[in-house]
Homo-oligomer: A and B are copies of this chain.
């Protein structure tokens, strides 16, 4: 670690990355390589002796970039976005540069304290209830991903109830969510040893735009109680992965509360929008939640990974996840003067991730971030209108945030052929390299997902992408329809 070598090579890498962004629109958005492509391009073993930065950067250009799917491209509309930004990038650089590991307060006090402060800032921007702030029993913490966030609160909830009913009751614990809930909930259940037959993925349909009906929850809970089971965890979602459905938090929370069920709210994607007053309504009822999660690395200009989790009762987390080996003991921790985030998460080590979120908030400011969100939502509204004007297409669920769910309409009510055609359309569009979209199914319909949210996306990119979709659709219709 020579400071002058770092300076020289660091500058070179900055230029490499800046040049990448300058030319990002020239790459096929979804990588077009075949499985195993890299194996023959790289040697069988590590070199014995140093190679030069030029050699490595040449290889990045020639061998790595063709295999990259360009998430930061302005025509990346698949999944949900994973925002990168100048501020987020600077924060990542600084975090990597300082090279600290902030598991306990003492291992780098600024890492813990900045995280507490910045999570409070964001809680205020989201107008979260006071109990989520760090000054009382609650507080926020940066997890890697929403999967880890839901796992740690599930474990906290599990252990809280098992402490009172005894750990042999594990097989009686029941989890609730809609069938639209992210797959990370089932994975967390699997990890935590919750019996999968006790995971109630309650059916939703288009009548509620795929939101969970409180009556379904109440019915399921009552049935489980009658059967002697123990309802203990509910996940509500604000902005589901398939179609941005918003579960009715207040009504769900009421049922959770009266049955002593831990209520987790997953707003991984749509949480960002709720800093705008006009979208805050979608969080109404969050005051009944025990925990709340939003991914700053999705749609909030903060580089992956940076998943924000707030809890009302930090002790539920720490009772489940604390370790206290001799080699980590230290005075401030033993005296309970500080927060040790190692006990709020799965791993021991942790990066200084609050730096990038702090930089995003300071270098852009709340008002700019709101405009950023609003612009994407406007682009989605515009696209939704374009789709609805084309008789070959239909909007499948109304767009609430920045995702548009649509499909080519069935001909003669033939849903099977329609699904196949939409599947073929997806492949044709993505193989063009001009844009990348993804799909889902809703009530058996194969649906195309067009998620707007890359920082570089402008109106022209959406319009051009839509044209490509229309062209490919016309071609499919001309060549395949009877």
Tell yes or no: A386 within 8 A of B by CB.
no
Tell yes or no: A332 within 8 A of B by CB.
yes
**Do B168 and A327 have beta carbons less than 8 Å apart?**
no
- Which of A33, A191, A367, A427 is the most central at the interface, judged by chain B CB atoms within 10 Å of its CB? A191
Task: Other than A50-B368, A145-B348, A191-B192, give 18 A-B pairs with Cβ distance below 8 A.
Answer: A1-B455, A6-B18, A14-B14, A46-B118, A46-B124, A46-B125, A48-B366, A68-B108, A68-B111, A69-B109, A79-B107, A82-B101, A93-B96, A96-B303, A155-B190, A170-B170, A182-B325, A327-B440
**Do B69 and A124 have beta carbons less than 8 Å apart?**
no
Tell yes or no: A11 within 8 A of B by CB.
yes
- Supply 18 A–B pairs (Cβ within 8 Å), ascending by A: A1-B84, A16-B94, A38-B117, A39-B113, A44-B124, A49-B368, A53-B90, A66-B110, A69-B109, A145-B349, A151-B191, A151-B346, A183-B325, A183-B328, A187-B348, A242-B326, A297-B349, A304-B351
- Which of A52, A337, A359 is the most central at the interface, judged by chain B CB atoms within 10 Å of its CB? A359
Sort chain A's interface into a size bin.
Answer: 35 or more
Residues of B within 8 Å of A325, CB to CB, are: 182-183, 241
Q: Which of B1, B16, B52, B93 contacts A85 (CB 8 A)?
A: B1
**Do A361 and B15 have beta carbons less than 8 Å apart?**
no
**Do B53 and A9 have beta carbons less than 8 Å apart?**
no
**Do B241 and A113 have beta carbons less than 8 Å apart?**
no
* Nearest B-chain residue to A367, judged by Cβ: B48
Q: Which of A19-27, A219-227, A376-384 contacts B (4 or more CB under 8 A)?
A: A19-27
Tell yes or no: A4 within 8 A of B by CB.
yes
**Do A10 and B187 have beta carbons less than 8 Å apart?**
no
- Which of A7, A98, A107, A168 is the most central at the interface, judged by chain B CB atoms within 10 Å of its CB? A98
Tell yes or no: A391 within 8 A of B by CB.
no
Q: Mark A78-110, 1 if CB is under 8 A from B, else 0.
A: 010011111011101110111111000111111
Q: Which of B51, B184, B338, B358 contacts A365 (CB 8 A)?
A: B51
Q: Mark A299-318, 1 if CB is under 8 A from B, else 0.
A: 00001110000000000000
Residues of B within 8 Å of A327, CB to CB, are: 79, 241-242, 438-440, 449
A88 to B326, CA, bound (A): 31
**Do A113 and B38 have beta carbons less than 8 Å apart?**
yes
* Contact (A45, B94) CB under 8 Å given A109-B31, A359-B56: no
Quick one: which of A338-382 are within 8 Å of B by CB?
338, 346-349, 351, 355, 358-359, 361-368
- Which of A50, A65, A170, A332 is the most central at the interface, judged by chain B CB atoms within 10 Å of its CB? A50
* Nearest B-chain residue to A338, judged by Cβ: B35
Tell yes or no: A321 within 8 A of B by CB.
yes
A455 to B455, CA, bound (A): 37
Residues of B within 8 Å of A235, CB to CB, are: none
* A48: min CB distance to chain B, Å: 5
Residues of B within 8 Å of A48, CB to CB, are: 365-367
**Do A113 and B36 have beta carbons less than 8 Å apart?**
yes
Q: Mark A433-444, 1 if CB is under 8 A from B, else 0.
A: 000001111000
* Contact (A4, B18) CB under 8 Å given A51-B363, A98-B68, A439-B326: yes
